[in-house]
Amino acid sequence: MTEQANEIQTTVLPALALRGMTVFPTMMLHFDVGRDISVKALDESMTSGQPIFLTAQKEITVEAPKEKDLFRVGTICNVRQILRLPGDNIRVMVEGVARGRMHQLPQLTPYLKAEVEEIRPEEPVRRSAKTEALIRQTYELFERYVELAPKMTPDLLLNLVSSEDPGYIADYIAQNIVMRTGDKQSILEELRPVRRLEKLYQQLSQELDVLELELTMQERVREGMNRNQRDYYLREQLKVIQQELGEGEQGSDSEILEYREKIAKAKLPKEVEEKLMKETARLEKQPFGSAEATVLRNYLDVCLELPWNKKTKERVDVAAVRKALDSDHYGLEKVKERILEFVAVKQLAPELKGQIICLVGPPGVGKTSIAMSMAKAMNRKLARISLGGVHDEAEIRGHRKTYIGAMPGRIIAGIRQAGSSNPLLLLDEIDKLGADHRGDPADALLEVLDGEQNSTFRDHFLEVPYDLSDVLFLTTANTLDTIPRPLLDRMEVIELPSYTDEEKLQIAKRHLLPKELKRHGLKKTQLKLTDGAIREIITGYTKESGVRVLERRLGAVCRKAAMRVVSNGVKSIHITGDGLEEFLGIRRYHPERLPKTEQVGLVNGLAWTSVGGELLEVEVNVVPGTGKLELTGNLGDVMKESVHAAYSYIRSKADRLGIPTDFYQKKDIHVHFPEGAVPKDGPSAGIAITTAMVSALTGMPVRRELAMTGEVTLRGRVLAIGGLREKTMAAMRNGIRTVIVPAENERDLEEIDQTVRAALHFVLVDQVDEVLAQALGLELAREDGATTAIPTEAPAGTAGIAIHQ
């Protein structure tokens, strides 16, 4: 059908969508067709004698293309031949006639029909010198391409040399080289012959660069293969020469014999011995220098180096362990007692297996050194395995031996390092295990730390069971919060508390200072520190639960002293608390200064951090407003919830507290925790927040020498908290005289240091009313009509406990 519209002549022709190819005018091309709509379009063209319109798809994955999926410019072709193939496919040969522009697709089924306008070629122009140069350069590039490209015949050049038409040259080369469909389409759509040849020249240059790079890479690979083949042939020739000389494979035979002798002498478990003998037989069959032989040698060497039957004679003596712990550690009586109990049980029941101890405490309190003392006292070899940052299961179980550089996991490596099958394995920082897509190492440790399973622990590298039941596992952690619950259930937890200042003083005098003096080459007579100087270092230059920073500060003092001894010829240095600034600079930490007068809306709370206890001030301001509650101070979600719980409690008890019942509508309350850069969280500041808010709303000042800790509920109950030992130490350091604690924590008062107990007066409370009575002197009417009494405080300087009933 031919139509005349706007002087553009169009024809409706069968259309075929090409995937990944383009046809150019005057070119012959054959390809396979499988889609039903394409086969029917070809049949229609052959039956009707019409040309067929071929155009490329924009996306080759589209099975049923529509008009938007096809390029507008294609080629009008004549079908020259159709060959039926087995199945539903056919092979067709077409000849391009002219370029065509598709206006629309009036039919999509049962085959495509396109309304096509034939694009007439431009009239040939007179060839200029520039055009002639472009044609010659294109010839040279195409000749180079034919030389390098596989499956390209020189006949292609002969068909091209006879033409002087730049348009035909561009079409011919574009049809016969490998290019992206989009690049070929760009050349097809260019109607100006010279410009088309310029585009082709650019694309041909790029393709030639890529082809040369591919050939270079192939040549390198071929050279590597030839080198390996050459080495193999030379080795085979060497083996033949050795056999002719009567030497045979004596070296290899001696190596195999040596492995078999080692396996026989090791008296291994039957399953292990059979596995190693099998691997030795495999090694014997491997050609010299092969990669598999290297893997097998490494495997046999690692397995034979393990202490399968080597054990140290364990010394299970409570007195010896006690002596070792006392000589290396000061204080920690509860921890020592628990460890000695463990040793006593081992002494009575040596066959007892599967006990795993977890030491939990802040950094620097001696967890690792306790493990070293235990190993020394019990005559066990010690191997330390750091788990901090480990996030791959293979770090525990090892890698399969077939991997390049494969080695056993850290557990087997630790036993190999210890050289004994009953060592003390210290799993350090177990709370800092990670996890990623390669697995969770905590899951792998479940078998290691299970006394019922670890007698048949299988490392991926060994591929045979290894008995871990004689290993004494000791783990350390700073917190239990990040240890998975199934893993925690397998361990006996022993908590190491923070050191008191008095304990730090004794540790410094007995252990740290002598160690630092020896380390810096000083004699005891050359440097003396008074107790006051050591106390000043503890309170003014360190802020920690353990003694690591204290040790570094003592080391700094020793360095300064050594410099004076060497430079100035000083024979003896005596340092007091007042003279520390010459050695350590200005004081770094100052105790919280209590306000000189009692203030409204300011309460001393108590916090527990990784470095010990802290005094945590709570400030509340009340201003006229619309009932907003603002929280600042870098608070966590739990602490924010505590503020809201306190706020709800005050609203519910406003009448009894003497607060206007509409305060939440007319007053804005701002709750702030100083040191805003420090994150804060936890529920233990609940009663401090409540007291500060009531003080600010009533205008009643809070006692300045009083501190408090406890969680608050919506009903005003005071719940138990943790870290009471560290919190009370912080209260004493900062000049607090009275501490309000939950009555549920009465049992924890026995754990508090005697020095702290003697310096503080403790008030045990069950209800917030009792807290307000103690802190504000506020007598509240109770539900039964009675009033909450203020307990009599113990005399200044004496210890006391007041319990509200």
Which active-site residues does the annotation give? 684, 727
C-alpha 499/C-alpha 753 separation (Å) is: 10
The answer to whether residues 418 and 383 touch, using CB atoms and an 8 Å cutoff, is yes
In the chain, % helix, strand, coil (3-state, to 5) comes to 45, 20, 35
The answer to whether residues 480 and 419 touch, using CB atoms and an 8 Å cutoff, is no
Token duo for residue 80? 């020259």
The answer to whether residues 548 and 365 touch, using CB atoms and an 8 Å cutoff, is no
Residue 789 sits at the vertex; the CA angle it makes with 784 and 795, to the nearest 5 degrees, is 165
Token duo for residue 334? 């509860």
The answer to whether residues 468 and 457 touch, using CB atoms and an 8 Å cutoff, is yes
What sign has the CA pseudo-torsion 175, 178, 181, 183?
Answer: negative
C-alpha 480/C-alpha 488 separation (Å) is: 8
C-alpha 682/C-alpha 445 separation (Å) is: 30
CA-wise closest residue to 308 among 352, 258, 270? 270
Name the 3-class secondary structure at 13: strand
Residue 683 burial by Cβ neighbours in a 10 Å radius (0-12, 13-18, 19+): middle
Distance of CA 644 to the CA centre of its chain: 35
CA-wise closest residue to 342 among 468, 492, 233, 462? 492
- Residues composing the chain: 805
Residue 82 bridge partners (DSSP): 92
For the chain, state the CA radius of gyration: 44
The answer to whether residues 467 and 347 touch, using CB atoms and an 8 Å cutoff, is no
The answer to whether residues 180 and 60 touch, using CB atoms and an 8 Å cutoff, is no
C-alpha 304/C-alpha 208 separation (Å) is: 57
| Residue type present at position 690 | T
CA of 540: how far to CAs of 527, 546, 549, 574, in Å? 20, 15, 12, 19
C-alpha 469/C-alpha 453 separation (Å) is: 8
Residue 709 burial by Cβ neighbours in a 10 Å radius (0-12, 13-18, 19+): buried
C-alpha 785/C-alpha 186 separation (Å) is: 96
The continuous run of DSSP H or E covering 358 comes out as: strand 356-360
Name the 3-class secondary structure at 749: helix
Token duo for residue 620? 């509340």
C-alpha 181/C-alpha 59 separation (Å) is: 10
Name the 3-class secondary structure at 591: coil
CA-wise closest residue to 697 among 665, 650, 732? 650
